[in-house]
Amino acid sequence: MVVTEGLNYHLKNNIPLMDSIFRYGSKAHFNLINEVRELYSEGRIELSVDDKMLIETDLGKFDLYEGQEVPLDLPMIESEYKGKKVQLGKPKRGGSKKFYVYVRDPKTKRVKKVSFGAAGGGQNLRVKFRDPKARKAFADRHNCSTKTDKTKPGYWSCRLPRYAKQLGLGNNMNTFW
């Protein structure tokens, strides 16, 4: 099987796609995701559960938005919410709960703020995604593998480990399950 140097490095060193050696959102990053997606669809490569979930997204695909070609499923698209510029799909700390994220509702095409996590910021509650038993219990309790609606708090709670680094929670992991 012939693969690019980047994918070969990932395979040799057992590096998950979420921890790409390429800058997130770069052309090389998108090419890596698309290469893995193609090889997996042809049955030429085995993937972990987390990597399978990543290639099932639209990451690495593009479409037109207001006359510009933009990447899909990349949480860094800027938009407007109640008159202020916000980034879509990029969770942040704070708000009425521990975290919040802005998303575009596919039904209404409007930007929506989704708050998730413990109410009041969960002062004494920690996110325990480093503990395998706690992580599995959370994923089972919340049916994480079935959450697909980005406008719901459960979707973002189940994918919180993907954004751990930018939220100051440690290194990215991909998902709870």
Q: Model confidence over 82-135: pLDDT tens digits?
A: 888 888 888 888 888 888 999 888 888 889 999 998 876 555 667 777 788 888
Q: How far is it, in rounded angstroms, from Cα 40 to Cα 64?
A: 26
Q: Model confidence over 22-78: pLDDT tens digits?
A: 877 788 989 999 999 999 999 999 888 878 888 888 888 888 877 777 777 765 556
| Helix, strand, coil tally for the chain in percent (to 5) | 30, 20, 45
Query: Taking each helix axis from N to C terminus, what angle separates 5-12 and 27-41, rounded to the nearest 10 degrees?
Result: 70
